[in-house]
Chain A
Amino acid sequence: MDLQGIDAIGTLQSSADQLASSKNEQAQKAEQNALDWWSLAAIAPAIIILLGFLFLFFYGVFQSLTDLKFGRPVVRFIGFTNYEMVIKTQDFWNSVRATMAYACSAVLAEALFGLALAKLFASGVFLTRLMRPVILLPLVLPPMSVALMWTTMMDPQNGILNYLLSLIGIGRFAWISDASTAMCSLVLIDIWTYTPFFALIIFAGLQGINDEVREAARVNGARGWATFLHIELPLIAPYILIAAVFRLIESLNQFDIIFGTTQGGPGDSTSVLSVRAYITAFQNLAFGRGAALMVVNWMVVLLGTFVMVRLWRLVRHRVS
């Protein structure tokens, strides 16, 4: 008796479930067909902002195809003439070379020093716990004050760096005032400012490695250096590369530190693409040509980032 009753209730329930589910499906279909105004309203600000940025970007690209210049009454569409004129000049290729040299050497050196710094601070000796906040110090300074700070320190006449060098018996250095050393000095400033960024991210990566992994490596007989080279380095390589992607974008676009210290000089030695574009557009007031240079700069950044992201995905794929 009892069992039959339970059975009957079960069948009733199941059929009721089926009915309800078919009703639900109908309702879901109706909902899918109707426009969800609330979600649209929720994403509308993002779309508007995106469209605004895209409009500005395309306006800039359009500007690079015109002969817009300050004080010119009629603006004509001249196609790729700006690009042709720019590419023909030797200065442009100097700028491209300077941009590449600056970005590549800065990112490479920062990755190396950042790795060393992170490893040092992950070693957990007594002073690291006290000094950990200090790593962040250069990162929180505004780039313009970093530029002014180093300009005074690198003064060839009475800068402190020359004095410190003279203490260990090295003669005076012209730093940013000489065409041959200006680029190295700028890279040095960049390294001082942004190595902490690398150190921070790599430090986080090192903290993320499970201690069991290290222990397993040790049990299997890996010594300190081998553990680092074969266990830790492959595991933190994605972190290094993602930090390098960010820094490469920023240093290919680097404007504030370079313009704040040398303004592209002395001569032509440090005029990277962004600085040259700024000078062309806002000091020579040839907005069209400046926009063309900026578009070229954007393409360089796009290309560099594309390569780096591909590399990053490759490494991450191999690790995981």
Chain B
Amino acid sequence: MRFNRSTPASLFLNLLVVACTLILTFPLVWIVMMSLKQQAEVMTWPPRFIFTPNLKTSAFCSMPPRPGQQATAPSRLIS
């Protein structure tokens, strides 16, 4: 048994679904974006959503400094 919803109601529910999806996926998307940024871009304020992805210095090559620690010079392996 399906109610036949009025158009505004179904539109509102769809919007709610979109909002929930955004909340659930945004942190993951943001972290994936962060993994493709360079160190300086990660630290900029305000944060940027549009950037040129950089696969070279992503997380696989250099670890970002942990919060609370001071940023160190890039490790010798890369330089």
Contact = CB atoms under 8 A, between A and B. Distances in A.
A137 B67 contact: no
B47 interface: yes
A120 B17 CA distance: 7
A158 interface: yes
A151 B27 contact: no
B55 interface: no
Contacts of A291: none
Contacts of A125: 5, 10, 13-14, 17
B14 A127 contact: yes
A157 B71 CA distance: 14
A17 interface: no
A163 B46 contact: yes
Interface string A148-179: 01111101011010010010000000000000
Nearest to A148: B31
B24 A120 contact: no
B2 A124 contact: yes
A314 B45 CA distance: 54
A141 interface: yes
Given A137-B28, A152-B31, A123 B13 contact: yes
Contacts of A149: 27-28, 31
Q: Chain A interface: which size bin?
A: 20 to 34
A158 B1 contact: no
Interface in A210-263: 211, 214-215
A125 B28 CA distance: 25
Contacts of B43: 158
A282 to B, nearest CB: 20
A128 interface: yes
Contacts of B44: 158
Nearest to A145: B31
A120 B10 CA distance: 11
A110 to B, nearest CB: 13
B30 interface: yes
A19 interface: no
Contacts of B42: 158
A151 B67 contact: yes
A281 interface: no
B25 interface: yes
B67 to A, nearest CB: 6
Contacts of B18: 127, 131
A150 B30 CA distance: 10
A153 B21 CA distance: 18
A153 B42 CA distance: 11
A92 interface: no
A134 B46 contact: no
A141 B45 contact: no
Nearest to A113: B20
B36 interface: no
Interface in B30-79: 30-31, 34, 42-47, 67
B38 to A, nearest CB: 14
A210 B44 CA distance: 54
Nearest to A166: B46
A138 B25 CA distance: 8
Interface string A53-97: 000000000000000000000000000000000000000000000
The 10 A-B pairs with the shortest beta carbon distances in the complex, nearest first, are A127-B17, A125-B13, A211-B1, A127-B14, A131-B21, A149-B31, A134-B21, A158-B45, A125-B10, A163-B47
16 contacts: A117-B20, A120-B13, A120-B17, A125-B10, A125-B13, A126-B10, A127-B17, A137-B25, A141-B28, A149-B28, A149-B31, A151-B67, A152-B31, A153-B31, A158-B44, A192-B23
